[in-house]
Amino acid sequence: MLEELSQILQGLALIREVSPRLKARVCAFGERMSTSLAVEILKMAGVKASLLQSKDFLVTDAAHQDEDKYLNATVIPKRDPEFADKMMEKTCGFHPEVVIMQGFVARSHKGETCLLGASPCPFLLNPCP
């Protein structure tokens, strides 16, 4: 995960531009890393915890355009216990005591990373002086 982030940041430094799509990708790394860390801490404490990727469950609606599409997206809530059970079985192989997921990360219908109603990372607003 850190290698992927490093490559993206190196590319941004070279082109000196940050699109809303790339802002969303970079900002999502914080949640991805913190949820991975949380699961490992719980496991070390003896809790049967598992990480599910919110992008597997949350797909944004297509109503937004441009920047809002990536940085202030919305999803239409949908309850599908069968799908959730299948994803948990596929990802975890068991039903954990605790499931951890990212809170503000989703994907577009094309699979692009989007942030849900979150403001962009402050350090990415003007990354190139």
CATH number at 107 reads 3.40.1160.10
pTM for this model (two decimals)? 0.71
Q: 53 near 102, Cβ under 8 Å?
A: yes
Query: How many whole angstroms separate alpha carbon 37 and alpha carbon 126?
Result: 28
Q: How many domains does the chain have?
A: 1
Which residues of the chain, if any, have pLDDT below 70? 1, 62-67, 94, 118-129
pLDDT at 81: 82
Domain hosting residue 112, numbered range: 2-119
Quick one: CA torsion of 6, 9, 10, 15, rounded to 10 degrees? 160
Q: 73 near 117, Cβ under 8 Å?
A: yes
Q: Beta strand 113-115 with 105-107: parallel, antiparallel or unpaired? A: antiparallel
Summarised one tens digit per residue, pLDDT across range 29-41 is 888 889 999 999 9
